[in-house]
Chain A
Amino acid sequence: MALEEPARDVSGFEAAVHAESGRLFAVAYSILRDPQEAQDAVQETMELAWRSWATLRDPAKRSAWLRQICVRRAIRTRRRLLPRLWLADTSEVHRQLPEEPDLELDRCYLRLSRQQRAVVTLHYQYGYSLDECAALIGCQPGTVRSHLARALASLRKELSYE
């Protein structure tokens, strides 16, 4: 009986990968602005999901769980000294880069901390309230408000909106 368990999980896991990984990559890329690091965050999220798959019984809750894990991974993961051998090679990743016409804003955005980027993108792009951002990121609501205010002030100043 135990031997049959992984086969059923594999099917569900692969379906979840196909359903969720694109959305997770979009969230991770919005925070990290680096396709390789975003892919790593998704990879680590799905690794954790695979390890915890037996406890993720309700498919309706998986996407929420995965998004929270992915956001936290994107914020906290360190840049790898050595890339995963079985992940995409760098040339393939960079071929996927879309045009970024607002290079000035991109430079300013990348100067923000990952926490600040996460709050800005989760709040403005994905519509999460600041309290919800705090839950996603795993910090105090007051800290999220501080991150957002500092991020916006920094962007406005560097882009000469102040």
Chain B
Amino acid sequence: MSKRDEFDPRLKAYLNRGACMPPPAGMKERIIAGADRRRTNWLMQVGAAAAILVLAIGLGIAVRQARQTVGVGPTPTPVETPGKPTPSPTPTASVGPHPLLPPDSMRAINATTAWAAGSGTNQIIRTTDGGAHWDNVTPTSARAGTWITYFLDANNAWLASSLQPGSGSPDFSVEIYRTADGGRTWQHVGQAAADQGWPASIDFVDRTHGWLFMRLGGAAGSDGAAFYGTVDGGSSWSKLSEADTSGNPGHLPLRCSKSAPVFLNAATGWIPGGCNAGGGPFFYVTHDGGRTWNDTAITVPAGFSGNCICSIVSLRFSDARNGVFVLTDYSSGKLPQSVIYATGNGGASWQPGPSLPAQTYEVFFIDPSHGWTIDGKASNSILSTSDGGQHWSTVGTIPSTQGVMDLQFVNATVGWALGSEPTGNTLIKTSDGGRTWTTQLSR
């Protein structure tokens, strides 16, 4: 074993010792005692809370009346369901559970329709008026657990529910639910009979062809994953492939970190990612719907080492032929360097293009020319390009104190961002290409 190979097991052993650290004796009792202490004052707290609530309600009414008077849209807007059926559970407007897996997600369909979901809250919301109002379209009877969603268009969406990870249950099955009417009704359509892991993403390219990407756990330098597929809209699922260490052609390797796959059509999709220990970028492609996977030999840009510590992110197609991803090299010992790759032939070939500005890592392009990126170090300032990334200019700042989790545009002017605050994630919208942003939903 070379000296380099010794690093990962050494780090793993060190981390394992830390995770096995027992809590100090009496910690649980002290925590409970602390709660007991607060309980003695709970009546006073309830009184104070009631007073604050009364004030808040009064203030809310006043603000609402003022908005109606001057015709200003609600900002921020609580989840509302005006005149439409509201599946329970009714969303809570106060502090509530925060999501763990997956990250809060959103999908902007067009200038008026968007979806958002949070796993920990098990809540799905949808707007059809550009975000002025959001309807709670959470399925009432779906199994609680880790929820993964995919929103194909304004009406069709899927939900995968798993008890994993973290429940301790031996049940690894993934229940699949579907709506075809914008979330008004959901049907339990099928089950993926997984025997390990948990769903990381569910993806559909049309109303029938979809994939379930399961994570099987990771370790230093490896990342287990399995694919399940459906060709009937989610009613039946079959296991297509699983990462292994065989090294056989067509097999997905266990090594390297894998991000959620991106499918262009029913046959072709990619898994982006990165390899530890200078293993270069990870970019595998399937042309048979996820059954076999092969390495896409990415030519790294001039100045990048072939065995760089690199990863691929922001893979997205703006249409059937044009797509981009970002390759970032972290191995220079300086600031990470990112390069935009583009394809104009449906992913048959990828060409390295311009570099991203320093401190920017991800992009969102609506066509080969127009895209946006975020400078996370400069108060989430947003930069735009109209020439495929050759030139970038700062257009505004996204109001999010803990970074931006996601950014999507539906045209040159309208876009949404998923912000992060200490109290939870926020939905933020722009209608002028990123110059100004309005927080629509916050906890």
Interface residues of A (CB under 8 A from B): 2, 6, 10, 13-14, 17-18, 21-22, 25-27, 29-30, 33, 35, 38-39, 42-43, 46-47, 50-52, 55-56, 58, 60-65, 67-69, 72, 76, 86-88, 92-93, 96, 98, 100-102, 105-106, 109, 120-121, 123-132, 134-136, 138-143, 145-146, 149-150, 152-153, 155-156, 159, 161
Per-position binary interface string of chain B over residues 24-44, scored 1 when its CB falls under 8 Å from any chain A CB and 0 otherwise? 111110111111011100100
- With contacts A55-B95, A67-B100 taken as known, whether A86 is within 8 angstroms of B30 at the C-beta atoms is yes
Partner of A13, one of B35, B101, B223: B35
Per-position binary interface string of chain B over residues 1-22, scored 1 when its CB falls under 8 Å from any chain A CB and 0 otherwise? 0011011001111111111111
CB-CB contacts below 8 Å: B72-88 with A: none
B120 touches A159 (CB 8 A): no
Binds A, one of B124-132, B187-195, B325-333, B387-395: B325-333
B17: A residues at CB distance < 8 A: 98, 100-102
B360: A residues at CB distance < 8 A: 142
A129 touches B376 (CB 8 A): no
* Total residues of chain B contacting the partner, CB 8 A: 87
A120 touches B23 (CB 8 A): no
Residue of A nearest to B96 (CB): A55
B99 touches A68 (CB 8 A): yes
B219 contacts the other chain (CB 8 A): yes
Interface residues of B (CB under 8 A from A): 3-4, 6-7, 10-28, 30-35, 37-39, 42, 46, 92, 94-104, 119-120, 122, 144-146, 163, 166-167, 200, 215, 217-220, 223, 257-260, 274, 276, 309, 311, 313, 328, 330-331, 333, 336, 360-362, 374, 376, 402-405, 420, 422
Residue of A nearest to B225 (CB): A129
B39 touches A10 (CB 8 A): yes
- With contacts A61-B122, A149-B330 taken as known, whether A127 is within 8 angstroms of B24 at the C-beta atoms is no
A101 to B16, CA, bound (A): 12
- With contacts A25-B21, A65-B120, A96-B22 taken as known, whether A88 is within 8 angstroms of B101 at the C-beta atoms is no
B98: A residues at CB distance < 8 A: 65, 68-69
